[in-house]
């Protein structure tokens, strides 16, 4: 049973209301990439965008912080009612236990993001605190990159560790989630797929048609798909 999380940095902002109103009927999360031009050399969405989005949806929002000082964003995101705050492991270390307590006190979820070259050993000591682990299958910062298949080894390992330690985190994949990769991602153990240009928004000029195509592609890729 895989969940769907559109990456809104890939949407057509000129059709914001139309696309959000349609997606509200069928998705599980919205993935918001917040970039500051420093951690990655790109700048995209912001807490201001989330504030506008909240006026149009009740779908849970996952804020992916690709910024040099992610901890400074946490209070603002909690005030905005963001459901999941996802921070790259390199920046979460040294803050994980304290931050987990704060986020859980607000009834929200803590996530960690693993770049393709980030070892799992970096997060082993606080796996039990995590609600969502995002495995990047591209380098962070830009849409449309080549799929890094080696990252799926992390997904398989996380699935095994979760079962062995009886943990409850969900495994999310970010990067090149599309018709060519759905089956291998789900087989590896993905619970949530972040869909961007190739998996959703560039499938058709109509968001309704794009969603229909996406559903058909997912259904063709696996029988382990949720009922939409």
Which domains can be identified in the chain, with CATH numbers? 3-221 (3.20.20.70)
Q: 109: which residues sit within 8 A by CB, 6+ positions away?
A: 83, 84, 85, 103, 131, 132
- Over residues 81-98, mean pLDDT: 95
pLDDT band, residue 153 (cuts 50/70/90): very high
Task: Give 201-222 pLDDT, tens digit per residue.
Answer: 999 999 999 999 999 999 988 7
Paired tokens of 210? 């794009």
pLDDT band, residue 225 (cuts 50/70/90): very low
pLDDT > 70? residue 227? no
Q: What local confidence, expressed as pLDDT, does residue 123 receive? A: 97
The catalytic site residues sit at 33, 174
Q: 113: which residues sit within 8 A by CB, 6+ positions away?
A: 64, 86, 87, 88, 89, 133, 134, 136, 140, 174
**Cα separations (Å) of 212 from 70, 133, 166, 179, 183?**
36, 28, 36, 13, 18
Element (H, E) at 209: helix 207-221
Q: What local confidence, expressed as pLDDT, does residue 143 receive? A: 58
**Cα separations (Å) of 204 from 52, 83, 142, 161?**
25, 29, 21, 39
Q: What local confidence, expressed as pLDDT, does residue 223 receive? A: 64
Taking the model in full, what pTM does it have? 0.92
Q: Which of 28-32, 48-52, 111-115, 156-160 comes out lowest in average pLDDT? A: 48-52
Average pLDDT, the chain: 91
- Over residues 74-81, mean pLDDT: 96
Task: Give 33-62 pLDDT, tens digit per residue.
Answer: 998 755 554 556 789 999 999 999 999 999
pLDDT > 70? residue 115? yes
Q: What local confidence, expressed as pLDDT, does residue 21 receive? A: 96
d(CA 69, CA 79): 18
């Amino acid at each position: 049973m895989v969940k769907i999380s559109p990456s809104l940095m890939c949407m057509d902002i000129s059709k914001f209301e139309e696309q959000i109103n349609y997606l509200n009927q069928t998705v599980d999360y919205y993935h918001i990439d917040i970039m500051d031009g420093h951690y990655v050399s790109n700048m995209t969405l912001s807490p201001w965008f989330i504030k506008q989005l909240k006026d149009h949806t009740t779908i849970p929002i996952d804020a992916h912080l690709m910024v040099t000082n992610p901890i400074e964003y946490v209070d603002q995101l909690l005030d905005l009612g963001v459901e999941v705050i996802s921070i790259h492991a390199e920046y979460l270390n040294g803050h994980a236990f304290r931050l987990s307590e704060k986020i859980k006190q607000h009834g929200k979820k803590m996530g960690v993001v693993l770049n393709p070259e980030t070892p799992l050993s970096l997060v082993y000591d606080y796996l039990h605190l995590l609600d969502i682990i995002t495995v990047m299958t591209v380098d962070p910062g830009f849409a449309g990159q080549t799929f890094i298949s080696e990252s799926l080894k992390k997904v398989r390992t996380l699935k095994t560790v979760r079962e062995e330690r009886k943990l409850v985190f969900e495994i999310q994949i970010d990067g090149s989630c599309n018709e060519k990769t759905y089956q291998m991602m789900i087989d590896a153990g993905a619970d949530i797929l972040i869909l961007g240009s190739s998996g959703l928004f560039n499938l058709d000029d109509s968001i309704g048609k794009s969603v229909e195509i996406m559903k058909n592609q997912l259904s063709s890729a696996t029988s382990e798909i949720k009922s939409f």
